[in-house]
Amino acid sequence: MAVTVEYRLAPEFPDPYPVEDCYAGLVWTSDHAEELGIDPNRLIVAAASAGGGLAAGIALLARDRKGPALAGQVLIYPMLDDRDNTISTAQIDGEGIWDRSSNVMGWTALLGERKGTDDVSIYAAPARATDLSGLPPTFVDCGSAEVFRDEDVAYATALWQAGVQAELHVWPGGFHGFDMSAPDSVLGKKMISTRSQWIAQLFNS
C-alpha cells in the first residue's frame, strides 16, 4: 500500500511547512498502520525530484526525533542541495526540462533569502547534513545529464562513509525525469525495473 501526502507548497508555504507536512504523514501512517493493513516494521519513504529531497528530510527527521522506524528510503533523482555549486548545475544550464535556473527558482521559493546561507536546515536541504549515520538502507538514482547528478552521487557517498547501506545508479545519458517522460525506452524500463527490484529485495530480506 502507498500513502501519498498532499503537503503545502512553496512559495506560499515555505520551509519548514513541506517537510513537516510530509513527516506528519509518516507519523499518521505509522499510528494507523494496523487499520491500514500495513506492517509498521516495513515502512519506507519514496519520492522523486523535490519530493525526493523531502523524503530524505523525512528520514533525517524520523532519526533525530526518534519517530517511526524506516525500513528504507527511495530517493529518485532527489533535490538535495540549495547551494548551486556543483559541476552538474553548471553543465545543465539552459538545457532540458529542469535546468540550473529552474533549480535556483525552486530553492528560492522554498527558502527565500536563506538560500545558500548558513541558515538552512538539513531537513530542507539534506546535502547539508554532516552526520548521515543511523539512516535506513537507501536507494538513490539519477541521470548523468541532469542538474542533480553530482549532489545525488555525493549524498550516496556520504551515506557509505557513515556506514549506511546504499545503492546508487547514475543512468548514462538520462535527463531529469526521463523515466516518466520516456517510460517505454530501454533506459526508462531499466531504471524503473531496477528500482522495483531493490524494493522487492528490501522487503524479502
What's the pLDDT at 131? 98
CA 17 to chain centre: 16
pLDDT tens per residue, range 155-197: 999 999 999 999 999 999 999 999 999 999 999 999 999 999 9
pLDDT at 95: 87
Summarised one tens digit per residue, pLDDT across range 31-81 is: 999 999 999 999 999 999 999 999 999 999 999 999 999 999 999 999 999
If you write DSSP's letter for every residue of 91-102 in order, what string do you get?
Answer: HSSS-SSS-HHH
Please state, in angstroms and rounded to a whole number, the distance separating the CA atoms of residues 121 and 128.
Answer: 8
CATH of span 17-31+39-204: 3.40.50.1820
Which pLDDT does position 7 carry in this prediction? 97
Residue spans of the domains in the chain: they are 17-31+39-204
* Average pLDDT, integer, range 15-27: 98
pTM summary value? 0.97
> In this predicted structure, what is the pLDDT of residue 74?
98
Provide the edge-to-edge strand list for the sheet that holds 166-171.
44-48, 72-76, 138-143, 166-171
- At 150, the pLDDT band (50, 70, 90 cuts) reads very high
- Confidence category of residue 106, pLDDT binned at 50, 70, 90: very high
Q: Cell numbers 533525530 label which residue?
A: 64
Averaged pLDDT of the chain: 97
Alpha-carbon distance 161 to 108, whole Å? Answer: 30
pLDDT band at 1 (very low <50, low <70, confident <90, very high): confident
